[in-house]
């Protein structure tokens, strides 16, 4: 995929609450200097806390792409948003979208993009194909965020570690594997949309050979313990051949996401299976830390939980928001730096 | 997919050797009474050992489908075969093919099928989509063939066990997961061609709830230890929720297929990881046997190897060709019948 061009205008339509603008929130959080403003339609109940702009004002402010930053069940693109999308193309922007619905399948939008020479980025549906993975060792270093479950903080953790690495002057790239990650990073591969035979090949393509001291910080997907997503997780692990794993977990969750009958795995059990499988393509893989989303716990319960988990597993255990990830980075540099 | 209609005519073109007709050989071996004959073009160096027929003679003998039973590197359909394919459609047959190349992408073939109301089966490329897997327990029993590597006898083993079950009056279906298996069974899902997010859902669809005493005997794919194929294997395992695993192995192989740097896993290590992962969707999963392709060993070396492996792993260890699979079936019925 061609990379998405920044800065961008974040379009959040008329979503009914802040959750509906989740993708835009994440982009504004991670790359505030890549966002010139937000575009909200009448009735919108979300607010990214940045200035409101029309498409014309956004282009005048330098925006090169309008990103549809919304999520909804079904992943559709409401018809009354089409006019704004067409307007964005007309005034000079590309448009990017991470929903299931495709911009390129809206005839007027596709025709306008063709006529005006603009790019449409349907990041969930990349046309390119990949080869099979080979498992052959590549130069450079790789960290993969894995999880006890889907939606357990893997993207947030990988972005936090990438940011901390860059702040310390370490050569690093964040490698996005899901639609929100791709919209934040501007490139990546939506691995769960790749034909199953080519998932590890896609992961190899995403994290190519690099300088020996360069880190790819890879957003994980799913969980080896999630019956819907495990195949994607394993293919991504084998293709990524990580040197370092960070285990992500949401401590108040008791059942796998979307599956009320499926309990969460234990942290140690989860870590051991992840290490065991990752060894296939990197014998020296290590766990360098555990990253928790403890937002559901009080400050005291969170500290207590992090401390106990750290004692139990013997690696730094952090909450990226409450404690930051620097202790994971220290440990990683100590082991693998 | 609509099921392929039998009996069939096996088309093997002008392949240069017996290996080039591998798919047709497998169909003729497993379902001799479904094959009215073979169609060979001038120069063909393979022979299925059944009568040669023209397309007209085949139809007169009852054939309803012509199956392209060849394999080649690249999976292409030579242009000089098109005339015979068109002739088969004209005289009344559907045409099925397991190559990468699609019948439906040959304009004259697609047009003829449309005009005549015939079906084209490109079994590697099924148009249907699947949902995500749920991991919810289904009634009925399931056996899955797993392997130390790709091409380690999983299809052959599953077909042998299915045949033995039917011979004993056990209710059973063979569930095909690859193109040759589908052409043999007449239906199935080519799981490595499914979008990765839906592999376990496809496996759930393929092995639906059934009578409590019914067995689905499922062709496995890849290996948890093959860096190109592991994701497909894990998704298939979790979606199949097998009660019984049979481990397949080719004892003379020392390196993973296509990967000269990747050693084969040990049998015990391979079995343990397969059981550990399969427990996610079926806590009671058991290994009921090991199936070896010992064709590369002498009779004596084969017996010796099977006996030693059986002692080591504590389950029946057979070669489907040399010893048959009845001891695995006995053990399975003893444990799970």
pLDDT band at A129; cut points 50, 70, 90: confident
What is the mean pLDDT of the segment spanning B266-293? 97
* B201 touches A at CB < 8 Å: yes
CA separation for the pair B71, B80 (Å, rounded): 16
Among A74, A125, A146, A197, most B C-beta atoms within 10 A, so best to mutate, is A197
Three-state SS for chain A is: CCCCCCCEEEEEECCCCHHHHHHHHHHHHHCHHHEEEEEECCCCCCCCCCCECCHHHHHHCCCCEEEECCCCCCCCCCHHHHHHHHHHHHHCCEEEECCCCCHHHCHHHHHHHHHHCCCEEECCCCCCCCCCCCCCCCCCEEEEEEECCCCCCHHHHHHHHHHHHHHCCCCEEEECCCHHHHHHHCCCCCHHHCEHHHHHHHHHHHCCCCCCCCEEEECCCCCCCCCCCHHHHHHHHHHHCCCEEEEEECCCCCECCCCCCCECCCHHHHHHHHHHHHCCCCCCCEEEEEEECCCCCCHHHHHHHHHHHHHHHCCCEECCCCCCCHHHHHHHHHHHC
pLDDT, tens only, B152-176: 999 999 999 999 999 999 999 999 9
A chain contacts of residue B199, beta-carbon cutoff 8 Å:
196, 231
pTM for the model: 0.92
pLDDT at A1 over 60: no
Say if residues A233 and A274 touch (Cβ distance below 8 Å): no
Q: Tell me how close the Cα of A92 comes to any Cα of chain B, in angstroms.
A: 34
Question: DSSP letters of B303-329?
Answer: HHHHHHHHHHHSS-EE-TTTT-SHHHH
The B residues from 120 to 139 touching A (CB cutoff 8 Å) are 132-136
Q: What percent of chain B lies above the pLDDT cut of 90?
A: 91
Say if residues B65 and B51 touch (Cβ distance below 8 Å): no
pLDDT of B127 reads 66
Average pLDDT, chain B: 95
In the numeric block, the tokens 């996005």 are attached to: A176
In total, the C-beta contacts within 8 angstroms joining chain A to chain B are 122
Contact across the interface for A191 and B195, Cβ inside 8 Å: no
3.40.50.720, 3.40.640.10, 3.40.630.30, 3.40.50.1820: CATH of B8-122: 3.40.50.720
* B270 touches A at CB < 8 Å: no
pLDDT at A245 over 80: yes
* B178 touches A at CB < 8 Å: no
CA separation for the pair B291, B220 (Å, rounded): 13
Find the residue in B nearest to A276 (Cα). Answer: B273
Buried b / exposed e across A136-160, counting CB within 10 Å, b at 16+? eebebbbbbbbbbbbbbbbbbbbbb
Find the residue in B nearest to A258 (Cα). Answer: B134
pLDDT, tens only, B207-247: 999 999 999 999 999 999 999 999 999 999 999 999 999 99
Q: Which of A175, A229, A213, A207 is nearest to A332 (CA)?
A: A213
pLDDT, tens only, A142-191: 999 999 999 899 999 999 999 999 999 999 999 999 999 999 999 999 99
pLDDT at B1 over 60: no
Q: CB within 8 A of A34, min separation 6: which ones?
A: A6, A7, A8, A27
Contact across the interface for B192 and A196, Cβ inside 8 Å: yes
- CB nearest to A196's CB, from B199, B227, B277: B199
CATH 3.40.50.300 fits B141-336, yes or no: yes
Among A230, A237, A264, A282, most B C-beta atoms within 10 A, so best to mutate, is A230
Helix H or strand E segment including B218:
strand B215-218
B chain contacts of residue A231, beta-carbon cutoff 8 Å:
196, 199-200, 231-236, 238
* A285 touches B at CB < 8 Å: no
pLDDT, tens only, A35-63: 999 999 999 999 999 999 999 999 999 99
CA separation for the pair A170, A190 (Å, rounded): 26
CA separation for the pair A101, A123 (Å, rounded): 10
* B192 touches A at CB < 8 Å: yes
pLDDT band at A127; cut points 50, 70, 90: low
Contact across the interface for A234 and B230, Cβ inside 8 Å: yes
* B230 touches A at CB < 8 Å: yes
Buried b / exposed e across A101-112, counting CB within 10 Å, b at 16+? bbbeebeebeeb
What is the mean pLDDT of the segment spanning B122-126? 86
The one-character DSSP state at B194 is: S
pLDDT of B128 reads 73
pLDDT at A100 over 60: yes
What is the mean pLDDT of the segment spanning A13-40? 95
Tell how far CA A311 is from the center of its chain. Answer: 29
Say if residues B236 and B220 touch (Cβ distance below 8 Å): yes
Q: Which of B77, B75, B74, B127 is nearest to B66 (CA)?
A: B77
Domain layout of chain A by residue ranges:
8-122, 141-336
Contact across the interface for A231 and B238, Cβ inside 8 Å: yes
Q: Which two tokens stand for residue B245?
A: 């695993």
Find the residue in B nearest to A279 (Cα). Answer: B225
pLDDT, tens only, B89-110: 999 999 999 998 999 999 999 9
pLDDT band at A317; cut points 50, 70, 90: very high
- Measure the CA dihedral A18/A24/A25/A31, to 10°: -170
Contact across the interface for B280 and A225, Cβ inside 8 Å: yes
Contact across the interface for B277 and A239, Cβ inside 8 Å: no
Shared fold status for A8-122 and A141-336: yes
Q: What percent of chain B lies above the pLDDT cut of 70?
A: 99
Q: Count of alpha carbons within 13 Å of B141, Cβ hemisphere only?
A: 21
Q: Which two tokens stand for residue B131?
A: 């949902």
Among B134, B196, B283, most A C-beta atoms within 10 A, so best to mutate, is B196
CA separation for the pair B108, A71 (Å, rounded): 44
């Amino acid at each position: 995929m061609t990379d998405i061009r920044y800065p961008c205008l974040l379009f959040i339509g008329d979503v009914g609450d802040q959750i509906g603008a989740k993708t835009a929130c994440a982009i504004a959080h991670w790359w505030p200097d890549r966002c010139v403003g937000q575009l909200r339609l009448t009735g919108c109940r979300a607010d990214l806390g940045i200035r409101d702009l029309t498409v014309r004002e956004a282009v005048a402010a330098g925006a090169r792409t309008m990103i549809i930053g919304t999520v909804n069940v079904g992943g559709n693109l409401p018809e009354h948003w089409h006019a704004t999308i067409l307007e964005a193309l007309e005034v000079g922007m590309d448009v990017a979208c991470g929903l299931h619905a495709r911009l390129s399948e809206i005839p007027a939008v596709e025709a306008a993009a063709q006529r005006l020479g603009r790019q449409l980025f349907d990041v969930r549906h990349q046309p390119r194909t990949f080869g099979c993975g080979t498992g052959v060792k590549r130069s450079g270093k790789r960290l993969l965020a894995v999880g006890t479950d889907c939606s357990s903080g893997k993207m947030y953790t990988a972005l936090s570690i990438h940011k901390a690495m860059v702040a310390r002057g370490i050569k690093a790239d964040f490698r996005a594997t899901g639609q929100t990650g791709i919209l934040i990073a501007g490139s990546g591969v939506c691995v769960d949309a790749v034909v199953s035979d080519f998932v590890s090949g896609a992961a190899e393509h995403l994290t190519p050979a690099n300088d020996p001291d360069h880190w790819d910080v890879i957003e994980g997907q799913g969980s080896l313990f999630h019956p819907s997503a495990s195949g994607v997780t394993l293919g991504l692990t084998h293709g990524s051949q990580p040197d370092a794993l960070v285990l992500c977990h949401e401590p108040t969750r008791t059942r796998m996401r979307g599956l009320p009958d499926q309990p969460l795995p234990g942290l140690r059990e989860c870590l051991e299976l992840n290490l065991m499988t990752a060894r296939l393509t990197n014998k020296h893989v290590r766990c360098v830390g555990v990253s928790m989303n403890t937002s559901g716990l009080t400050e005291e319960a969170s500290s207590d939980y992090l401390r106990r988990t750290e004692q139990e597993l013997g690696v730094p255990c952090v909450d990226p928001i409450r404690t930051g990830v620097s202790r994971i980075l220290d440990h990683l540099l100590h082991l693998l730096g």
